Structures are given as structure tokens and as C-alpha cells.
Amino acid sequence: MRKIVIAVLLFCISISFCVSEEQISDIGDSIAETDNQSSTESENIIHTIQKMLEEDLLNNKDKLIELTKNLSLDEKQKLYLTYEKSGGKYFVLNLILGCGIGSFAQGDSKSGMLALCFELGGVVMMLSGTNSENAFLVSIGYGLLIGGRVGECIAPWEYANNYNDTLKTSLNMTYEKLSFVPVINPIDEKYGFVARIAL
């Protein structure tokens, strides 16, 4: 048995010496060419995805899901980190300047218009209540201003969260989510947690 193994090894070694340097070079060139083609294709796909994300995420969502199927997790994470939205600076703009300016700057025109309407409505109610000496209208005006400002502080975070969830879905980055839900049964006086996995 040992002689057969040695004979097979010698045969394999002799075959490898029969391959010329030109053939080895050709094999190496074809491997390099295949790598270059696949990296160029990947770069083209990433460039197309970037254009689509910059244009409109929501309208391109289905196309993005199809394009990102073959990207590596690393490429997907780089795209996500590049296009992820934060609510921080828009929250500050809404808090300090008001009138939905932060929401408009973030691209959330719906929340921006709603905040602007609340603030304008509050000012109109306060002015009309002040002119007619109607304390009820003034308090409604204050209520609209305060409620609008609270909504303005929440809106940037909500918009960023929804946008980022859509971005994750579009990049095929959805993962299982584990959550714990409290369970309270006052009849049997039992309390605890239930683990829930959202798929």
C-alpha cells in the first residue's frame, strides 16, 4: 500500500513539473481577469444603488432589494452607514427655530407642514383671543403652540427611524429581533416575561 501512495505522489509531482511556466501564467491571468470583472460588476452595482438611494429610497425600494441580494454584508453595512439618517440636528432645529424647519430640512415635508400649521394656528388663536379679551382662545393658542412644539421634537426621530428601517429592508439587512414582553396575570397573581422573536 505504501508503494502505491509513493508512486501516486511521484506521478503527481512529475505532472506538475510538465506544466510550463506559460501555462501557469495563463491560469494566473485568467483568475486575475475574473476577479477584476467581478469587482468591476460589484462596483457598478454599488454605484447604481448609491444613485437610487440619493434619488428616492421609497420609490426605488423594490429595485434596491433585487440589486442588493448579491452584495456582501460588509458592502451592505457600508451603504447603510453612509445613507443612515439621524434625527439629532433636525430635532435641535425644530426645538429652537420651530415652524417645522428641522422637519423640512430633513426631507419630512408632511411633519413640517403639520408643525407649521399648528404654530400658525396657535399664533392666530392667541392674537384673536388677545384682541377680543377671550382667555379661552388664548389658552387654545398656547395649547396649539405647545402641542405643535412637542410634535416637532418627536417628528425628526420618528422620520429617521422609519427611513432607516426602510433602508435596512431595501439593503436586505433585516434580522430577527428578540424582545421581552411583560406578562401580568392579576387573577393568579403571576408576573413574568415572555420572549418574542419578530421575523
Q: How confident is the model at residue 2 (pLDDT cuts 50, 70, 90)?
A: low
Q: Report the predicted TM-score, pTM, of the whole model to 2 decimal places.
A: 0.63
Q: In 56-134, which ranges are continuous DSSP H helix?
A: 61-67, 73-83, 88-96, 101-106, 109-131
Mean pLDDT of the chain: 78
Mean per-residue pLDDT for 42-49?
80
Torsion sign, CA atoms 90, 92, 96, 98: positive
Nearest to residue 151, comparing CAs of 123, 112, 120? Answer: 112
- Of residues 41 and 175, the one with the higher pLDDT is 41
**d(Cα 141, Cα 90) in Å, to the nearest integer?**
24
pLDDT of residue 74 exceeding 70, the answer is yes
Give me the pLDDT at residue 24, please.
47
Q: Do residues 163 and 57 make contact, with C-beta atoms less than 8 angstroms apart?
A: yes
pLDDT of residue 114 exceeding 90, the answer is yes
Q: Do residues 109 and 103 make contact, with C-beta atoms less than 8 angstroms apart?
A: yes
